[in-house]
Amino acid sequence: MPRDVRVRVQTPAGAQPPWVQLRSAMLHPFVYRKMVRTADPAAQPGDVVNLYDKGGQFFGRGLYNPRSQIVVRVLTHDDIPIDAAFWRAQLERAVDLRRRLRLAEHTDAYRLVHAEGDGLSGLIAERYADALVFELFSLGMFMRRAELGRILASVLGPPTCLDRPDHAGPTWRMFVRADSRIERLEGFRVPSGTTPAETSARLTIREHGLRYRVDVKAGHKTGFFCDQRENRRRLARLCGDATVLDLFCYTGGFSLCAMKLGGARAATGVELDESAVAVARENANLNQVRVDFVYADAFTYLRQMIANGRQYDVVVLDPPKLATYREECEDALRKYFDMNHLAVQVVRTGGILLTCSCSGLIAPSAFRETVHRAAQRTGRRLQLFDHTGAGPDHPVMLDCPESAYLKALWFRVL
């Protein structure tokens, strides 16, 4: 177990328990171990703690976990209680933004709570049709999952069906997810038993006129990648009569949009997760389009295409997250270099390369330079015509810029 941050020191004058005193205070939602001077011995993992700066002045409140690298996830710098009224106000504010964005007019799958971007560090909540899916990153949020679920369902009201707005379902189904590594680091475990609401974890969502099967229990992350919604639609506009290669295609979002919305001549999706390939094929049938989905490693497939002299008009490179911690960034950049070095070679002259990184710790400039060097190694030149990110349901607070994690670079290959 990681070393506990608590040591025997004097309580800051006037501090209200449970408390944490900081060695350095920054307006960022993460308080790391090295930033903590001392902590109240009575503070328990998952507690709401009062934060004080090194001078003993009140600094804020947050969720405490002494075994985590992020010892406190700050929720507020105001002197207000963290109670049911606080959670409701935060969730109401998050939902209000999504309603203003009018997302429900063209999809019933979108992010409702974007962790730090909505002032709720450690919590992601997504809506999939009549299901609410929570992805948890902190012990404190795990301990409050039932309360947060009840409040969010109350704020939303009954679920409505996108293609029948007058029809409301009775209640939201609730699902909770967490990465196994996060569970180990934070010290919790999401129960594996199936509740009555979880008897059917497979559902169908709608996005820009397409339908997708989503497995909210066994799929990657929360089951679908809502962050690429706008990028999928935009790519389709570049795919008229094109041949498209969709690498790391998961359940086929980009390739299906290219065919159904963009009028592509042909599309190939490559994915190493066999279960995802099966869902992708099901999605193609559901939308009555033909996509050649291939169960293969993207690196191996690209090398084979290069050897065969095969090229495409449009290539999408959307790998999974490669860097979760700072010590993984160097290795992640090497992988980004290798995959882009290969991908550039299968784009026809004048064709389009959309290359993405969802590693928030990788700086946009570092990712762009890595792709540039990869192309230079092949003798190809890249003309950048746009740089986009996640959809507007993934807001970013400027005191936590790394939550703008998705980087999508749009190139013409010369």
Do 234 and 361 fall into the same domain?
yes
Give the domain-ending residue among 76, 100, 121.
Answer: 76
* Domain-embedded: residue 7: no
CATH at residue 321: 3.40.50.150
Whether residues 67 and 155 share a domain: the answer is no
Domain assignment of residue 177, yes or no: yes
Does residue 294 share a domain with residue 171?
A: no
2 pLDDT band, cuts 50/70/90, is: very low
Kindly state whether residues 46 and 166 are assigned to the same domain: no
In a shared domain, residues 301 and 363: yes
pLDDT number for residue 200: 62
Instruction: Of 94-108, 129-143, 181-195, 241-255, give the lowest mean pLDDT range.
Output: 181-195
The helix/strand/coil state of 88 is helix
Q: Do 240 and 266 share a domain, yes or no?
A: yes
Angle at 65 between CA 64 and CA 68, to 5 degrees: 135
Give the end of a domain, one of 32, 50, 76: 76
Residue owning tokens 């404190």: 140
What is the spatial distance between Cα 169 and Cα 395, in angstroms, rounded to a whole number? 28
Q: Is residue 137 domain-shared with residue 100, that is, in the same domain?
A: yes
pLDDT at 19: 97
Residue 218 counted as domain residue = no
Whether residue 180 is contained in a domain is answered as yes
Share of the chain above pLDDT 70, in %: 94
Whether 40 and 146 map to the same domain: the answer is no
Residue 322 is predicted with a pLDDT of: 96
Q: How far apart are CA 246 and CA 254, in angstroms?
A: 7
Claim to verify: residue 31 and residue 104 sit in the same structural domain: no
How confident is the model over 119-145, as pLDDT tens digits? 999 999 999 999 999 999 999 999 999
Q: What is the DSSP string of 19-51?
A: EEEESS--SSSEEEGGGEEEE-TT--TT-EEEE
In a shared domain, residues 192 and 295:
no
How many domains does the chain divide into?
Answer: 3
Which among 335, 394, 103, 356 is positioned nearest to 232, based on CA atoms?
356
Total number of residues shown for the chain: 414
Q: Give the pLDDT confidence of 216-270 residue by residue, as tens digits.
A: 999 999 999 999 999 999 999 999 999 999 999 999 999 999 999 999 999 999 9
Q: Which of 379, 376, 371 is nearest to 411 (CA)?
A: 371
Do 181 and 250 reside in the same domain of the chain? no
For residue 299, is it within any domain? Answer: yes
The mean pLDDT value of the chain amounts to 93
pTM of model > 0.85: yes
* CATH number assigned to the domain comprising residue 57: 2.30.130.10
Contact 356, 378 (CB under 8 A): no
pLDDT given for residue 202 in this prediction? 86
Does 275 fall in a domain? Answer: yes
Last residue of a domain, one of 76, 93, 113: 76
336-375: pLDDT as tens digits? 999 999 999 999 999 999 999 999 999 999 999 999 999 9
Residue 13: inside a domain, yes or no? no
238 and 372 belong to one structural domain: yes
CATH code at position 178? 3.30.750.80
151: Cβ–Cβ under 8 A, 6 or more apart, which residues? Answer: 84, 87, 88, 91
pLDDT of residue 7: 47
Q: Who wins on pLDDT, 3 or 187?
A: 187
Residue 124 resides in a domain: yes
Q: Please, which pLDDT band fits residue 195 given cuts at 50, 70 and 90?
A: low
Residue 160's pLDDT band (boundaries 50, 70, 90)? Answer: confident
Count of CB atoms within 10 A of residue 167's CB? 11
Taking only the tens place, the pLDDT of each residue in 7-27 is: 455 788 889 999 999 998 899
Domain that holds residue 43: 19-76
